[in-house]
DNA sequence: TTGTATGCGTTATCAG
DNA sequence: CTGATAACGCATACAA
């Protein structure tokens, strides 16, 4: 059932039918009634594809996240979906699996679908040519959870640097001198590689905050307290063994995300380490699991639903023609204290 | 940059350019080279919208889940995305929030986008007119996690009925006579309402399995052991209080999903109930949190990534013209024993 | 207020 | 092998 069918059925021209069906332009009451009646009777359903072709606007926004399966992103996606729908936009979701090549592929696919705008959690802050190209071709882009100095566009991120510093200071105030930061970021050596820049800006910001607060407290060689490659149970087990065998003793742990946190917790528990007596632990992201452990885990709350919401708001503003300078939104990510921070053991 | 632009730049006709760019029809080596060169030079990007308009095929599939934020669905969505992408299809994701009206709206929106097919987790097995309409208009539909006897189409579900029976029997074998089933399903009375049919088929199947295994073991009035409305912390607290005050004592709990399970666990722990000494607990879905508790929780594993994968496979088969009878795929959902099932206390 | 004619970027048909 | 040309379903400038 097309506009043409309705038009003939209602004895009006295609243009008139299109006007009332599309809700634009003028039409007499009689014409409107006839068209609506015919549309209803014949079960007319507008073809948004054709509409988009005609208008050039698509009503679709594309989202590329690292992994929808991760609660961090799935909550953000919910925020994006809800906000977008409320504005009459639909959402196409893609995973990059945190791989640059896949991210590029997804962006390209979305651009071919002529999405009105893009929300992306870029895998590598240094490799954003594809996003720049989208921007150049007039498609607004807002980056989520991450930003790139090389990309002049809106971003919505957590306040990672300040939070990392604050959390470390909280631990230091409890007497912890040696605190490790454990991250899923990969590196050749398993430690921080000063030569290799960190691609994911959120990761870099947290490590910077961690290092600067370490330096401010005169911690010796804080880079050696950053443990990378925490990608699976086996690697985390290795890291935990390394951490537990250090002298002077490491008494506090920061987990870069909730998956790393959960694995750290399990590895520690399996080795008979009691929290917070023997070890203090703080994990990024307020995941479900952090509230059922004994003790419950102190976490950095990342309101990613809000991240998503804000990202869509920025996108819509740009879609409406806002040409003001790119905004770097920094969302506060407060520490929620539960039971996994204790005084440093003697 | 359109086909026409490339054509003029390459000094061939629009038709020839379209043929090589679209990868169909014949073209001489010379023409092909010229077109490809021009396309590369001018940065041609095909317009999938126009392509879809022309061909009638859209390369998009629509997905409507209850809540993407729920790990159960987000894992399924990952399975759907991965499988779809591997087949060159893109995915539009929508949430119904388990509300019929929203589900209808989403389906309608997706249909207007002319999706090639639909994967839906229907909120109400009795209200599937909108899905039937999609089917009638030639858009294949496969239902996920749920099925409807009223809808003759493919479905991919867990083996809920048999699993519920098996889990209860496992508990009975450990000596548990009175086991409660706790579900987020809403009902007026807080108990099973014999008059009101259960909309979500997965929920119904589990309760049926629970009741039949109860009856087979001569449990008196098993319907009274089904507790509904477990929708938030407050209601779960109330349910737990009710359960703990029953005589004869209830010694085992089945949680309908991982959210209910987590909340039950917290409420039990808060009341000093020790698992599995005082109470045994089994939760549906192998969520992250079930492996960090003490004891770790025995769960019904629902391989929802696989659910998603299978659903896409069915959809693609239909898209390719498979007109065989609707298939009701039942995926095994085995019990993973960890530490939360113990012998029934005396 | 209504209708005619044209365009959006493809695919696809059918002569040449 | 190639090139006009007509769809696809809608929006829209312009004319009536």
Q: What is the pLDDT of residues B130-160, one digit of tens each?
A: 999 999 999 999 999 999 999 999 999 999 9
Which part of chain B is CATH 3.40.50.2300? 57-158+304-331, 160-301
Does the domain formed by A57-158+304-331 have CATH 3.40.50.2300?
yes
- Residues having Cβ less than 7 A from any atom in strand D: A 2-4, 14-15, 18-19, 21-22, 24-25, 46-47, 50-51, 53-55; B 12-16, 19, 25-28, 30-31, 50, 53-54, 56
Whole-number Å distance between alpha carbons of A199 and A204: 7
The architecture in CATH of the region B3-46 reads Orthogonal Bundle (1.10)
* Separation of B313 CA and D11 C1' (Å): 37
B21: CB within 7 A of chain C nucleic strand: yes
Between A31 and A194, name the one with better pLDDT.
A31
- Residue B291's pLDDT is 97
CATH of domain A160-301: 3.40.50.2300
Query: Is residue B253 within 8 Å of residue B280, measured between CB atoms?
Result: yes
CA dist A140 → A49, A120, A136, B72, B300 (Å): 21, 11, 9, 32, 44
| Nearest chain B CA: its distance from A111 CA (Å) | 8
User: pLDDT tier at B242 (50, 70, 90 boundaries)?
Assistant: very high
A294 Cβ under 8 Å from any chain B Cβ: yes
On the question of pLDDT at B197 being above 90, the answer is: no
Binned at pLDDT 50, 70 and 90, residue A192 comes out as confident
Residue B195 has pLDDT above 80, yes or no: no
Summarize pLDDT for A223-236 with one digit per residue, the tens.
999 999 999 999 99
pTM of the model as a whole: 0.94
Q: Is the pLDDT of residue A11 over 90?
A: yes
> What is the rounded average pLDDT of the residues B220-244?
96
Write down the mean pLDDT value for chain B.
Answer: 95
Q: Residues A298-317: pLDDT tens digits?
A: 999 999 999 999 999 999 99
**Distance C15 C1' – A246 CA (angstroms):** 83
Min Cα–Cα distance to chain A from B265, Å: 7
Task: Read off the pLDDT band of A106 (50, 70, 90).
Answer: very high
User: B84-95 burial string, b = 16+ CB within 10 Å, else e?
Assistant: bbeeebbbbbbb
Q: What pLDDT was estimated at residue A201?
A: 84
3-state SS of chain A: helix, strand, coil percent to 5?
A: 45, 15, 40
User: Which member of B48, B93, B293 has the closest CB to residue A93?
Assistant: B93
Considering chain A, what is the average pLDDT of its residues? 95
Tell whether A338 lies on the interface with B, counting CB pairs under 8 A. Answer: no
Sign of CA dihedral A258, A262, A268, A269: positive
Report pLDDT digits (tens) over A44-73.
999 999 999 999 889 999 999 999 999 999
| pLDDT for A142 beyond 90 | yes
Q: Is the pLDDT score of A196 beyond 90?
A: no
> For the residues B47-55, what does the mean pLDDT come to?
95
pLDDT for res A159: 97
Separation of alpha carbons B6 and B37, rounded Å? 9
Chain A contact set for B95 (CB, 8 A): 78, 81-82
Question: What local confidence, expressed as pLDDT, does residue B194 receive?
Answer: 78
Which chain B residues in 188-227 lie under 8 Å from chain A, judged by CB atoms?
none
8 A C-beta contact, residue B143 and residue B155: yes
Sign of CA dihedral B78, B81, B84, B86: negative
């Amino acid at each position: 059932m097309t506009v043409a069918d309705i038009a003939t059925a209602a004895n009006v021209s295609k243009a008139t039918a299109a006007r009332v069906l599309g809700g634009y332009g003028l039409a007499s009451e009689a014409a409107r009634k006839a068209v609506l009646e015919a549309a209803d009777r014949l079960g007319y359903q507008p073809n948004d594809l054709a509409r988009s072709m005609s208008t050039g606007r698509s009503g679709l926004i594309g989202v590329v996240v690292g992994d929808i399966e991760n609660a961090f992103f799935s909550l953000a996606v919910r925020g994006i979906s809800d906000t977008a729908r409320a504005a009459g936009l639909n959402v196409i979701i893609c995973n990059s699996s945190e791989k640059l090549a896949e991210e590029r592929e997804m962006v390209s696919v979305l651009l071919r679908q002529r999405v009105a705008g893009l929300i992306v959690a870029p895998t590598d802050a240094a490799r954003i040519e594809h996003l720049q190209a989208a921007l150049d071709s007039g498609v607004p882009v807002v980056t989520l959870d991450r930003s790139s100095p090389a990309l002049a566009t809106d971003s919505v991120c957590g306040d990672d640097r300040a939070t990392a510093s604050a959390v470390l200071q909280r631990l230091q105030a409890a007497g912890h001198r040696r605190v490790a930061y454990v991250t899923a970021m990969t590196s050749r050596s398993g430690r921080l590689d000063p030569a290799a820049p960190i691609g994911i800006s959120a990761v870099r910001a947290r490590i910077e905050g961690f290092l600067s607060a370490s330096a401010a407290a005169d911690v010796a060689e804080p880079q050696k307290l950053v443990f990378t490659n925490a990608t699976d149970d086996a690697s985390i087990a290795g890291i935990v063994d390394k951490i537990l065998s250090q002298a002077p003793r490491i008494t506090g742990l920061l987990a870069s995300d909730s998956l790393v946190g959960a694995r750290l917790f399990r590895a520690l528990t399996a080795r008979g380490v009691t929290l917070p007596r023997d070890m203090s632990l703080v994990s990024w992201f307020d995941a479900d699991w952090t509230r059922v452990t004994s003790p419950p885990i102190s976490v950095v709350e990342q309101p990613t639903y809000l991240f998503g919401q804000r990202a869509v708001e920025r996108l819509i503003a740009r879609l409406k023609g806002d040409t003001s300078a790119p905004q770097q939104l920094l969302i506060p990510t407060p520490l929620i204290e539960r039971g996994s921070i204790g005084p440093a053991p003697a």
